[in-house]
Amino acid sequence: MKFAIQDKLTGLSDYKEVFLMAKEIGYDGVELNLFQQPLNDHLTGELQAAIDSTGIPLTAICGGYRHWIGHFDESKRLEAVSDIQKSLKYAAQLGAQGIIAPAAYGMFSKSLPHQVLPREEHGDRIVLIDSLKRITEQAEKLQVTLFIEPLNRYEDHMLHTVSQAASLIKEVESQHLKVLGDFFHMNIEEADISRTIENDYSSLGYFHLADSNRQLPGKAHTDFRTPFQTLKRLNYEGYLSMECRIGEERRELLQETLQFLRGCLQH
């Protein structure tokens, strides 16, 4: 298993400095957080220079597109699909594993007092399948992956659990579509994180780490040791990347957290 951090956790804006901090602390990779904007030539050049100068890989891009692949507005949905298709080319060029995307974020929640849901559940599945098929056709050509991320019930209404996302993979039938398991969302939606990992391991390809309060791992009550031992037993060799909140003493906190995470891998 390898540990990565999202660039935003470093508090730095220069990508060379971001990647250098990750290397100095001891992380195995950097994940780019690019919310509501696609990748472009300029950003890709900066990232490539950071990769080349440090030897630290870019693991994946969280975002890299506008709107959502499950958007209620058809034109915005297709724009999200098109953006991801373009960003996948850059991801492949940079050696990243792929793009991370939920069905949507903050668009609608059945668990909060909203108006009537604009689309039936069956319609949600139809548009998601269509979006995923369009994207994975491109991903297969480029040999990169789309990681679909289930979110908790308060942030989205379409995909909450790993098994729900895994069912889409079975329908799309692409080796370049995997589920991202986020420990924060899994802590809310899954009865047992370790059991979920075991049951849907073949569909999982990447993980986000955060504690139950969205802070750094080890700052609340989520059990990381048991799921990590499950992943170790299953010979997971991919990335676990931190996507969480952080305090002011960033370098010290990131060092402390890495020690905590590596300790969870020990018997």
CA distances, 16 to each of 47, 89, 183, 185 (Å): 8, 22, 28, 31
DSSP 190-225: -S-HHHHHHHTGGGEEEEEE--TTSSSTTSSS---H
Instruction: List pLDDT tens digits, range 21-32.
Output: 999 999 999 999
Domain architecture of the chain: domains with CATH:
2-264 (3.20.20.150)
Whether 149 sits among the annotated catalytic residues: the reply is yes
Kindly state the DSSP code that residue 66 receives in the 8-state scheme.
S
pLDDT of residue 242: 98
Whether 249 sits among the annotated catalytic residues: the reply is no
What does the block give as tokens for 246?
A: 């952080």
Judge whether residue 116 has pLDDT over 90.
Answer: no
Instruction: List pLDDT tens digits, range 159-189.
Output: 999 999 999 999 999 999 999 999 999 999 9
pLDDT of residue 114: 75
Judge whether residue 58 has pLDDT over 90.
Answer: yes
Judge whether residue 202 has pLDDT over 90.
Answer: yes
Query: Catalytic residue among 31, 149, 189, 190, which?
Result: 149
Query: Catalytic residue among 31, 155, 189, 243, which?
Result: 243
Question: Residue 112's CB: how many other CB atoms inside 10 A?
Answer: 10
- The reported pTM is 0.97
Judge whether residue 267 has pLDDT over 80.
Answer: no
Strand partners, 208: 182, 241
Q: Alpha-carbon distance 186 to 152, whole Å?
A: 8
